[in-house]
């Protein structure tokens, strides 16, 4: 039986932490549950999952939908889309059975690339290789989640470049229903009238629309500030996520747009976070005067997750006094600051 390979290439960078990652996890589960109830999908569909942050890895090799078990999605620093594309191409070469003169291989793979951010690595060579060697061998549907995603590079990759502008629960449900319907439609199509042409479900343009932007390459995502800390008690890492906020400030003689970042959440992590992170841009900084809000520690409940050791590491703290830094393991004493409105620079992740 010829297989219909379906790949999900999922952005698990720090900007996805929180609600977006949960919705992505729930969505994959929902898609698989529905496909298991479809006789055509059970017969032909095989699913694989590639995740990417600073690194890109296959977390579920291509497997029949009846045996697919949704994985726990990781989190890492960076949005290495270029690495993800090279990994995807290598995975296609390794896992998809090619058609020859003597042998009918797998049906043309369909890839759903889902991202909410901006590439933090160079993508030009990966895009060029995809377009020259792989674009005709697979159907790539690239989906940008929300208003902060860089849609330009997705447009360069494929004519099926879409944006899900609103990321409410209902919009996500409709989005995943569209993916499910598209997979079911294609699996039925190859069973009834064998063809490699993609048979996608009709778009609801109030939910998903084609993108038209140009590429905007940056080393850091300007729409989020992500800070990595460690719990003083458990030594486990966590992420503080700040989201960009712009306001029009008006005075009698002039007006200006002020930008700052407001805390949107603090999330516990395991040590595997560092295995998925790109460590090549360790000099990125943000000034604390731009950051609004201090969360508590998600591991131990200390009142502040934002104390800075002299080594530069961020840690949690439950009050003034002496503590041991979980980064450098040195003893440090915390006291009331000078109240300097200019703030100070701290290390930020790529987002």
Domains parsed from the chain with CATH numbers: 4-210 (3.40.50.410), 224-347 (no CATH)
Asked if 92 and 123 count as a contact pair (C-beta separation under 8 A), the reply is: no
pLDDT at 211 over 70: no
H or E stretch at 126: helix 124-129
Q: What angle do CA 138, 80, 182 make, to 5 degrees?
A: 35
Q: What angle do CA 4, 7, 8 make, to 5 degrees?
A: 145
Predicted confidence band at 197 (pLDDT cuts at 50, 70, 90)? Answer: low
Following DSSP, what letter does each residue of 66-81 receive, concatenated? GG--PPPP--BS---H
Q: Which of 119, 8, 123 has the alpha carbon at shortest distance from 53?
A: 119
pLDDT tens for residues 47-76? 999 999 999 999 999 999 999 998 999 999
Asked if 55 and 199 count as a contact pair (C-beta separation under 8 A), the reply is: no
For 119, 129, 228, 284, the CA distances from 123, given in Å and listed in that order, are 7, 10, 26, 20
pLDDT at 181 over 50: yes
β strands within 40-117, DSSP E: 45-52, 56-64, 110-115
Q: What is the Cα–Cα distance from 195 to 57, expressed in whole angstroms?
A: 30
Alpha carbon distance, N-terminus to C-terminus of the chain: 42
Q: Which of 137, 166, 141 has the alpha carbon at shortest distance from 155?
A: 141
Q: Give helix 169-192 / helix 19-35 axis angle, nearest 10°.
A: 30
The percentage of the chain sitting over the pLDDT mark of 70, rounded to a whole number, equals 85
Asked if 92 and 126 count as a contact pair (C-beta separation under 8 A), the reply is: no
Q: What are phi and psi of 283, to 5 degrees?
A: -100, 15
pLDDT at 215 over 70: no
Quote the pLDDT of residue 216.
Answer: 47
Q: Which range has highest mean pLDDT (34-48, 144-158, 208-222)?
A: 34-48
């Amino acid at each position: 039986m010829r297989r219909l390979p379906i790949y999900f290439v999922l952005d698990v960078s720090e900007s996805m932490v929180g609600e977006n990652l949960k919705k992505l996890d729930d969505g994959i589960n929902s898609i698989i549950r529905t496909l298991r109830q479809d006789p055509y999908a059970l017969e032909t569909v095989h699913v694989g999952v590639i995740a990417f942050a600073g690194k890109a890895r296959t977390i579920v090799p291509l497997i029949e939908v009846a045996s697919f078990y949704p994985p726990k999605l990781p989190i890492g620093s960076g949005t290495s889309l270029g690495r993800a594309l090279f990994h995807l191409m290598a995975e296609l070469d390794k896992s998809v059975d090619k058609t020859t003169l003597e042998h009918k291989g797998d049906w043309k793979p369909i890839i759903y690339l889902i991202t909410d951010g901006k590439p933090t690595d160079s993508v030009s060579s990966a895009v060029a290789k995809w377009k020259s060697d792989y674009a005709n061998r697979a159907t790539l549907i690239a989906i940008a989640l929300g208003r902060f995603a860089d849609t330009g590079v997705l447009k360069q990759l494929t004519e099926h470049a879409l944006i899900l502008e609103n990321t409410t629960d209902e919009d996500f449900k409709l989005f995943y229903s569209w993916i499910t319907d598209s997979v079911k439609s294609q699996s039925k199509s190859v069973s009834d009238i064998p063809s490699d042409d993609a048979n996608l479900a009709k778009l609801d343009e109030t939910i998903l629309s084609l993108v038209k932007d140009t590429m905007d390459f940056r080393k850091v995502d300007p729409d989020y500030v992500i800070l990595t800390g460690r719990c003083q008690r458990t030594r486990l890492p966590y992420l503080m996520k700040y989201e960009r906020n712009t306001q029009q400030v008006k005075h009698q003689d002039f007006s200006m747009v002020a930008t700052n970042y407001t805390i949107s959440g603090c999330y516990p992590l395991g040590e595997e976070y560092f295995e998925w992170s790109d460590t090549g841009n360790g000099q990125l900084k943000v000034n604390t005067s731009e950051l609004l809000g201090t969360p508590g520690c998600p591991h131990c409940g200390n009142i502040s997750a934002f104390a800075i050791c002299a080594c530069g590491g961020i840690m949690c703290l439950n009050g003034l006094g002496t503590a041991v830094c979980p980064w450098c393991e040195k003893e440090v004493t915390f006291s009331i600051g000078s109240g300097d409105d200019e703030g100070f620079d701290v290390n930020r992740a790529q987002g």
